[in-house]
Each structure stands twice: as structure tokens, then as C-alpha cells.
Chains A and B, each alone.
Chain A
Amino acid sequence: MSRQALDAFAAGIESEVLEAIEIGARSGVDKRLATLTEDYADADALRRLAGQVRQHTLDHLDEYLASAEERLTSHGAQVHFAASPDRALEMILDIVRASGTRVITKSKSMASEELDLTRRLTEEGFEPVETDLGEFVVQLDGDRPSHIVKPIIHKNRRDVARSFERCGLGDYDDDPETITRRARAYMRDKFLDARVTMTGANFISAESGRVAVVTNEGNARFGLAAADVHIVLAGIDKVIPRDRDLALLLSLLIRSATGQRITSYVELVAGPRLADRPSGPREMHVIFLDANRSSVVGSDMAPILRCIRCGACMNACPVYRLSSGHAYRGVYPGPMGAVLGPLLAGNEGFAAVADLARASTFCGACRDVCPVDIPIPDLLARLRARSVREGVILARAGVPSMAGYLLLARHPRLWRLAMGLGRVLDWLPLRRLPLASIRAWFDSRTLPRWRGAQFRKDVKRGRREQEDG
């Protein structure tokens, strides 16, 4: 293969899709910047602080997880640990079967995508309903989210109107308010039918066991109000030390994700209904999903687990914007996904997605916007080195060998000789050479005229003149 799979995918995307992504991502970038600079004198200092809080948590994850489990249990919640997505799915199936429900409402959760949950629950005869509007459209279309905050960033409202029409939710109408009203009317009955509701968790406090869930549509709250059983599915990396850390982390998460100061709804759930806590589901389960996260904790890749899933890195990434989230072939797209995806795939799955680490110019736009200060380009570089070390073939596509370069770079005489000989490049029909890597350059670019070793000659002459004079 002469180039990377992601590049080939990008070359085939329709312009309408690219336009939708560009608009969505750009508005994310602009809103984020506006709120952060308006609200904080030194937003960078806050990003660094948040990065330290998250890294500290990871460095003591065992203790904080144990504390969160203890607090949740003492509040009457049941806490489970799932080593793999399949194990988490079994746990969820056990809980929903025991509840006797058919309908399950569900708010947005990227961890649930790791389980392919909606599809799997449907296969098992249940009726899961995605209640986040974007995820609802994904479900209608049998599609996959292409962004972790804006799952249908790749669609425009005409696409959505067509989906609604196709699924019997009314005649074609691409007015956003009409679309929203129709979804609302459809979901209302589902909320009332569902005895189980599922949420993810944006954060779980080790101090109190409080689970924080942010939404703009109130769908998580409606689910919690109507159901008997609440299942929280969360990565083990979602724990934070104290409730007060929410002030910092929610402030940065929401500003970075949507440019809002706060989302319309922030749920804080510490346990099921009890005598002194008279509302909410009577049963609460918290499933902590590992799925290879614990193998990343304590490694040189650990900083990626600081991620709080704001999506700012993909909004800012020119490669993401020109290739779409689907080009990343997994749950997590964009720069954070290019790091997290290959790691969550584990040792067995690494080779199949290791090439994602090459989907970056190392421009650092992602690092500059990351609310928890993750050095994403450095992590991508480490993954590239690992893929070379492990001889991953897919990751090698289109990447020239360094053998010739190394020979020259280590032998100054050869290097100087090559600098002189390079002049032939000016005369060769480079565009017609059957060498993929050379063609990749010359198909869309020219090269300046060769001036190899001219400067060295000057330096030498200058030195001679100095000695003579």
C-alpha cells in the first residue's frame, strides 16, 4: 500500500459531509475560545492545573476507585467492575433481565459505544432508545457517532429530515425545531415505558461517590425521573478525588466541549432512592469498565487517561476535519482517539489500528486546546515508535524507510557527497518515477531548485580567506 488507510478514506469523502464537519468543528473552536478568554485571565494555567488533578488521580487510581466504591455502596448503590466490554455487557443484560423491562432509555455515553451497546441490546430482544438527539439519529440510521460530543457532526439537517421521514416520524421537514419536537414526542412514551435507564458518567467523586452527568437536553434527568433502575457505565478513569474538583473540571469540560459556561442540566447522583432521598430510581448500579485502561495507567501513555472527552482536540485538528471521525474506524476519533483507540485495543488489537497514530502532522493544535494538558503529539510519536518496534505492517503504509537516510546522516562524507549529487533532481522526470513516496510529493507539489552544499562552500571559502588574511 502506497499510503495510509485514513488518507485513502479522506480522499473519498463527499464534499457535503466535509462541509458539515467543517462547520460543526469550527463553531466548536470559536465558541470555546470566546468563553475561555472572556471568563479567565489565564486559561492555560487552569488547563495545567486540571491536568495535574487528573494525573494525580491516575497516579493513585486504586485508592480513589476503592473510595468511590465504598461511598457508592454505603449509599445503597451496587458497584461492579468489568474487565472487558463483553463482561460489562453481560452485567447489563443481567440487570435489565432482572428488571423485567423491554424498553431501556439511554443518555449519551462513549463507554457504551465500546460495548456496541445499542446494537447488542437490540439483538437480545430489548428496545434501547438513544435519548440524546444526535445519538437518536445515529440509531435511526444504523450509523456510528463520528465525534464524541457531536455524534452527527457529519450530517446536515437535510440528512436528519430524510432519516425522520424514512423512519415514519413525519413528512420531510428540515426545520430544526420541528425535528426536535418530533423526537421529543416519540421519546416521551419511551421514557414512560422504560423501567431501566442508562447513563454514562462525566465524573465520579471518590469523596462522595457522586456521579456527575451533563446534558443539554434534559434527557438523562427525564430517564432518571421515570425509571426504576439506573445503570451507570463509566470507565475506571472517570474518578476524581473530591466534589470540589468538579468546579474546575466541569468548568473546563463544558467550555471546551460546547463553549457554554454550563450545560442546561448537570445531574449529581450519589445513590438510589432512600427514605432521606425520596426521588430517583430505587436501584442503582455503577459499572466500572476497565477494557485495557489499567494497562495504560502507570505506563508512559498514562496521560491520555486524563482525557475528559470534551472533543476540543478533534474540533481543532485539521486532519480530523478533512478525514471525518469515521476515518478512525473506532469509537474514539480525532487526536485523542488516535492515541486511545490503539491502547484500548490491547496487545492483540494494537496492530489493526496502530496506523491511526500517523494521522497527525504533530502540529500541536490538539495539545494547545486540551483542557487537561495532554501532550497528544508526544503520545502519538511514542505509538509510532511502538508500531515500528512491533513491525506493524498497516502502520508502515506509505512511510518511507529510513535506511538510506540513516546511512547518509551518520556518515558526513557521504552526506556531503549526496548534497552535491542532489543536483540531478533538477533534471529527473520525478513525477513519472515509479516510486510511490516520490510521486506522493510531486503529484501536488514542486521542489525548489537544488542548491546542495552551496552554503558549505561559502563557509569553507570564508574560513580560507580568514586564514589567508
Chain B
Amino acid sequence: MVPNREPVTGRRVQFMISCLCDAFFDDAARAAMDCLERAGCAVTCPSDQTCCGQPAYTSGDWDAYRQVVRHVAHVFHGDEPIVVASGSCATAMFHEAPIAFEGQADLPEIRRLASRTWELTDFLVNGLGVRAWSGRLPARIAVHDGCHTRGTPTIRAVRALLGGIDGLEVLAFPDQDQCCGFGGVFSISHPHISAAMGRQKVDNVRSVSPDFVVSADLSCLMHQQGIAGRQNREYPVRYVAQVLRDAAGGPA
């Protein structure tokens, strides 16, 4: 799933906001930037960035998709690592973009883009070599792994970082690995199944009564919270970087 990557040598990174942070979760993006800076990075955030293009990939409109990815490649030019505040966008860029560019003249350029792209926690742990994150945050949490991070180093990285925080208890919950049914366009084209999966997820998470749900993927959290919200049920969520920031520690 993950392309071969050059070892990270410098500390300069480009930050990709992700469209959901851009539209809804500004504090999550702030927290992600904050974590990168605590880890010693000099972060730039190109203002002409828009979206990674994933909706067009999943919808099957690959002409549109390639145009968006070309815009991404243009905006994030250079050699520095691109760090994304979303596991899903990261996987789309490093795994899916090269698939949709097969046979295109600019495939090599897209492959380079892919090999520079990292999900935030993956970058902290495997890019920068952060083993754990210090700090303290007394809370009982559930961790949701976004399905798009299956088979990527993010799953372990999230746990490695959270594992160092004092007072944080990670609860196991039923059917932890099952998808919450978002799937982007799927939630629109298959509303019945998507919502049914969402309700299963919300029920399973709530069955262990965590203080909040943590994930490296805000899209899943938005979906789950939206499902719970329609049922007028509480469903507090945190992006993983918000937890790291709020623990007030740093690379241990």
C-alpha cells in the first residue's frame, strides 16, 4: 500500500489541510500543525491548495480526478514531504493516484508526489522517528481506524503516539475493524446501507462509553457523529492530533 520512500532528512514540510479540515475542522488542522512544530518541523501551508481529488476517484470520474491531482502536484511542488491531516487523503494520494495515472505521460511525476505524501502520525513516527508522545490526558477513549489506513503504517503509529500519554486509556469495542459506512460518494449512492453501517458503528462504540472517539480520519468521525446527531445522541470525537496537542507534551 505504501510506496518506497526516501528517508526524511530535513525538517521542512508542506502541510495539506484536507477539505474537511478546511470546511469544518479548523481546530484539527491547527492541532496537526502544532504537532509538526513541536516535532521540530518548519511547516508551510500552500494557500492555493484545494482537495486531494478523492471524491472524483471513488465516483469513477477519473478525467476529473486526474485534473485535481495535477493541481495538487502543481501546488505542492518541490521535494519536501507533504503531510496530510487525514489518513484517507494520504492513501488516495500515495496509493490511488498512481493507479489512475497508469498510461499517462505524467505518471512519473505523480509517483514522486505519491512517495512524498504522508499521513500525519505515520510521518511523525516513521518519517521523523518519534517513538512516543509524552504528556498527560486523563480520558477513556475509543480509537477508530479509518479503513483507508488499513495496511498502512498509520494504524500502528496512532497507537504508538497515544501509548506514551499518561492517563489515556484505550478501550476495545465490538467489531472494531468494521467500516462505519461512509465511503464518500457511497454514502450518497447507497444511503440505506451506509446509514445502517453507521448505526452499527455508533452502537458498538457507545457500548463501551468512551469519553470520546479518536481517529486519524476526520471523514469517518464526521460520518459517525452525523449518524449519532440525527438520533440526538452524544458522540464526542477528537482528531488524533488534538489529543496529542491537548496532552501538552511532545516527542518523547
Residues of A within 8 A of B56 (CB): 402, 405-406, 409
Residues of B within 8 A of A397 (CB): 189
Minimum CB–CB distance from A317 to chain B (whole Å) comes to: 9
| CA distance in complex: A367, B185 (Å) | 20
Binds B, one of A119-127, A182-190, A302-310, A449-457: A449-457
Cβ of A384 and Cβ of B60 under 8 Å apart? yes
Question: Does A3 belong to the interface (CB within 8 Å)?
Answer: yes
Minimum CB–CB distance from B130 to chain A (whole Å) comes to: 23
Contacts A385-B60, A399-B185, A441-B187; A419 near B197 (Cβ below 8 A): no
Question: Does A83 belong to the interface (CB within 8 Å)?
Answer: no
Minimum CB–CB distance from B119 to chain A (whole Å) comes to: 15
Cβ of B22 and Cβ of A446 under 8 Å apart? no
| CA distance in complex: A151, B226 (Å) | 36
Question: Does A410 belong to the interface (CB within 8 Å)?
Answer: yes
Cβ of A10 and Cβ of B58 under 8 Å apart? no
Cβ of A360 and Cβ of B186 under 8 Å apart? yes
Question: Does A114 belong to the interface (CB within 8 Å)?
Answer: no
Interface size on B, residues (CB 8 A): 66
Binds B, one of A166-174, A241-249, A285-293, A318-326: A318-326
Minimum CB–CB distance from A15 to chain B (whole Å) comes to: 12
Residues of B within 8 A of A365 (CB): 147, 150, 177-179
Which 3 A/B pairs are nearest by Cβ-Cβ distance?
A361-B183, A384-B60, A445-B226
Interface residues of A (CB under 8 A from B): 3-4, 6-8, 10-11, 300, 318-319, 322-323, 357-365, 367-368, 378, 381-382, 384-389, 395, 397-400, 402-403, 405-406, 408-410, 412, 415-416, 419, 422, 437, 440-441, 443-456, 458-460
Main secondary structure of the interface of B (DSSP, over half): helix
Per-position binary interface string of chain B over residues 190-230, scored 1 when its CB falls under 8 Å from any chain A CB and 0 otherwise: 11111111101000000000000000000000110111011
Residues of B within 8 A of A357 (CB): 60
The one of B50, B60, B68, B194 that contacts A381, using a Cβ cutoff of 8 Å: B60
A/B interface sample: 13 pairs, CB < 8 A? A10-B190, A319-B193, A322-B197, A358-B190, A364-B148, A364-B151, A365-B179, A381-B96, A399-B185, A402-B56, A402-B64, A409-B67, A445-B187
Cβ of A381 and Cβ of B57 under 8 Å apart? yes
Residues of A within 8 A of B225 (CB): 446, 448
User: In the complex, which residue of chain A has the Cβ closest to the Cβ of B201?
Assistant: A318
Cβ of B147 and Cβ of A363 under 8 Å apart? yes
Cβ of A440 and Cβ of B57 under 8 Å apart? no
Interface residues of B (CB under 8 A from A): 17, 21-26, 29-30, 33, 45, 47-51, 53, 55-62, 64, 67-68, 71, 75, 96, 99-100, 102, 147-148, 150-151, 177-179, 181-183, 185-198, 200, 222-223, 225-227, 229-230
User: In the complex, which residue of chain B has the Cβ closest to the Cβ of A457?
Assistant: B26
Residues of B within 8 A of A7 (CB): 189-193
Residues of B within 8 A of A450 (CB): 23-24
Cβ of B99 and Cβ of A382 under 8 Å apart? yes
Cβ of A318 and Cβ of B50 under 8 Å apart? no
User: In the complex, which residue of chain A has the Cβ closest to the Cβ of B22?
Assistant: A419
The one of B62, B68, B71, B150 that contacts A385, using a Cβ cutoff of 8 Å: B62
Cβ of B193 and Cβ of A387 under 8 Å apart? no
Minimum CB–CB distance from A407 to chain B (whole Å) comes to: 10
Cβ of B71 and Cβ of A452 under 8 Å apart? no
Cβ of B22 and Cβ of A452 under 8 Å apart? yes
The one of B49, B53, B189, B226 that contacts A446, using a Cβ cutoff of 8 Å: B226
The one of B29, B58, B193, B195 that contacts A455, using a Cβ cutoff of 8 Å: B29
